[in-house]
Amino acid sequence: MNDRYRLPPLREGIKGEINWFGWMLTVNFPDMSGQFEEKQRSHLESQVPRDYLDFSTTITHEGIHFIQALTASYIYRSACRLWHGVQEVIQKVRLFPSDAVITLPLQIESSIGSMLNQMRTKSRNLSTPDVPGVSPLDVIEGATVFITHRMHLENMNNLGYLQRIKEQYSVGNLRTYSDAYRLAEWYLGDDIFDIFSVICFLALCSQEPGQMFCRYVRAIGRSGILHDHKRLTVQEIIDSGIAFGVTELRTTVQEIDTSGLWHPILFPYVKKVVENLPDRFNFVEFAARPYECDDVKIFRLIRPPLLRFEGKVGNIAPDLPDFFSDGPASSQKTTDKDNANLIVTLMAICGAVLAMLWPDEYYMQCPHTNCPYYGLRLCYAYAPVPPSYQECGFIERFESVFERSLSTVQLRKEE
Amino acid sequence: MRYTFSIVIDEPAYVEDLHNSLESWIASEASDMINDPAISYEIKEPAPTPGSLALLDAGTIQLVLGILSGSGALTLTLRSLFRVLEKYIDAHKVVIKVKFGENMVEVSGKLSEQERSKYMEEFIQHSVEVDKK
């Protein structure tokens, strides 16, 4: 990215985000990237300031989501479906006459909303007085918070973890980070500590992670297997599930082999990772318990494509896969700049589609309030903030993809 | 004009309690101002941007105040808000940061009238700058 373009902060209240479309990771802290490389996996808590601990664990948290996408079929499949949903909307918009005015919100059918809602819908297969059920998002976030804690606080036990999630994640939207663990702990007690991330991973290899998570908790509880053996392998847990009728699990690789689902960012990554894993490396065991892996090369291989920080620093992973080689529009020569540009464009356009379907107060990182299109907020997901709105790359990208002038888009006036 | 404050407390366990305190503040001390048709308010929970997986800040409350420009209520409301936060900090021995735009005020004890005025001045100046763009 051009040096003149600054990297903006996220909105307040969010420590970090990873985008479902471009898989770019954003962290809302001052730039501490240099320190991060050196201290990534050290025992941090008592040695470093709280901000640094937060920064480091936030990067780990979002990085774990990327590992999940490359290993567990539910996340890969959801990303592909969201991508296809976006493409459908683009195709429908292109069918409007190019000079017709489009009024937002778009009045067209889209599968995106129901997919995003489905991720938040709790399966009530199991519940406790405090936890009404578990959604796919609860499984995704519950596993990620758990794995992050285990990576950074190696001496933590079940009670310590319960205390932490009670203090930090027990109210409102924050419960999504702790509901799955609290539910499983209610049924399985201390024993959950050594198998929680495995159950989450297996649930995320299914079609319905919320429901599958509950089925595994039930199956393991009924089997009594934890009486004799606390640290079960992934295969032992799969076998426990099979005994209770739990089948049809797929890793991301199996999903690609079976369904052929293609994602412009994730597919090349999966291919690259699989080709470069060491011989006899147990990828499934790694995906289920990443905190037990101390091979930095593996984490380097699976890090997200782009990082940006509030401290005006952006890093492109030096070993991006060629996003164009397997795609519909393959090219002979692809540079890192082309690859990074694809991620930025993809995020911007997918963000614009969401904002066209559901206009809202999306957080605008851009300070150029005098831009004629500022009020539309369609560009909220466009990463580089230009020196002036006249130099912004969003408009060109929008018009190229939607085949219409941005000036033909307007918000419905409030009555 | 809508003013968004992010109130960040260093002890996440107190968020719900602080949330309740802000609600009480709005219902009692600030009721005259909030009930004024010139002012609206909303206390929001942080939420992920659509289409992303986010790690939310466990200690953040977003307070959005809608105040008509030139109503004179902004100064009164801000002064009152800082006072309620100071009382809270005094009672619970926590640190609270109030962020607005790119500015941030850390309140770790009772502010002097001079400090309070300085922060309010910074806030108002920043808000006006944003408004002009």
ipTM score of the complex?
Answer: 0.84
Q: Angle at Cα A400 formed by Cα A399 and Cα A402, nearest 5°?
A: 65
Residue B55 and residue A350: Cβ atoms within 8 Å?
no
The answer to whether residue B102 neighbours chain A at the CB level (below 8 Å) is: yes
Q: At A312, which amino acid appears?
A: K
Band of the pLDDT at A183, cuts 50, 70, 90?
Answer: very high
Residue A184, classified by CB atoms within 10 Å of its CB into exposed (0-12), middle (13-18) or buried (19+), is: buried
According to the model, what pLDDT value does residue A10 have?
Answer: 62
Closest-CA residue of chain B to A371:
B133
| B100-121 mean pLDDT | 70
Q: Pick the residue with more confidence: A260 or A170? A: A260
| A395-414 mean pLDDT | 92
CA–CA distance, A33 with A297 (Å, rounded to integer) = 18
Backbone angles phi, psi at A219, to 5 degrees: -60, -45
| A257-278 mean pLDDT | 95
How big is the A-B interface in CB pairs under 8 Å?
93
Q: Is the pLDDT of residue A312 over 70?
A: no
Residues of B in contact with A162 (CB under 8 A): none
Please give the DSSP secondary-structure letter assigned to residue B41.
E
Global pTM?
0.86
Residue B52 and residue A369: Cβ atoms within 8 Å?
no
Backbone angles phi, psi at B98, to 5 degrees: -110, 120
The answer to whether residue B6 neighbours chain A at the CB level (below 8 Å) is: yes
According to the model, what pLDDT value does residue A34 have?
Answer: 56
According to the model, what pLDDT value does residue A30 have?
Answer: 62
CA–CA distance, A96 with A91 (Å, rounded to integer) = 9
Shortest distance between the Cα of A59 and any Cα of chain B, in A, equals 10
Spell out the alpha helix ranges (H) of A224-308: 234-243, 252-259, 266-276, 283-288, 296-301
According to the model, what pLDDT value does residue B82 have?
Answer: 81
According to the model, what pLDDT value does residue B131 have?
Answer: 42
Closest-CA residue of chain A to B9:
A13
DSSP secondary structure, A132-181, as one string? --B-HHHHHHHHHHHHHHHHH-TT--HHHHHHHHHHHS-SGGGGGGTHHH
Band of the pLDDT at B101, cuts 50, 70, 90?
Answer: low
- The terminus-to-terminus CA distance of chain B in angstroms comes to 13
| A196-205 mean pLDDT | 98
Lowest mean pLDDT among A238-252, A253-267, A323-337: A323-337
Band of the pLDDT at A385, cuts 50, 70, 90?
Answer: confident
How many domains is chain B partitioned into structurally?
A: 1
Instruction: Give residues with Cβ within 8 angstroms of A42, minimum separation 6.
Output: none
Q: pLDDT digit string (tens) for A322-376?
A: 888 765 555 557 788 888 889 989 999 999 999 999 998 788 878 898 999 999 9
Residues of A in contact with B45 (CB under 8 A): 13, 172-173
Backbone angles phi, psi at A14, to 5 degrees: -120, 125
| A177-186 mean pLDDT | 97
Strand partners, B63: B5, B43
Band of the pLDDT at B18, cuts 50, 70, 90?
Answer: confident
Q: Which domain holds residue B54?
A: 2-132
Q: Pick the residue with more confidence: A32 or A316? A: A316
Residue B56 and residue A173: Cβ atoms within 8 Å?
yes
Band of the pLDDT at A4, cuts 50, 70, 90?
Answer: very low
CATH number at residue B25: 3.30.70
What count of Cα atoms within 13 Å lies in the side-chain half-sphere of residue A201? Answer: 26
Report the SS3 class of residue A22.
coil
| A381-405 mean pLDDT | 92
Residue among A7, A10, A11, A12 with most chain B CBs within 10 A, to mutate: A12
Q: Is the pLDDT of residue A182 over 80?
A: yes
Residue B59 neighbours by CB distance under 10 Å: 24
Spell out the alpha helix ranges (H) of A16-72: 33-39, 50-71
According to the model, what pLDDT value does residue B66 have?
Answer: 72
Residue A5 neighbours by CB distance under 10 Å: 17
The answer to whether residue B129 neighbours chain A at the CB level (below 8 Å) is: no
- Peptide bond preceding B50 in cis form (omega within 30 of 0): no
Residues of B in contact with A66 (CB under 8 A): none
- The CA–CA distances, whole Å, from B88 to B5, B61, B107 equal 17, 14, 10
Tell me the two tokens of residue A222: 């009924």
Scanning the structure block, which residue is given the tokens 């053996």? A229
Q: Percent of chain B at pLDDT above 70? A: 67
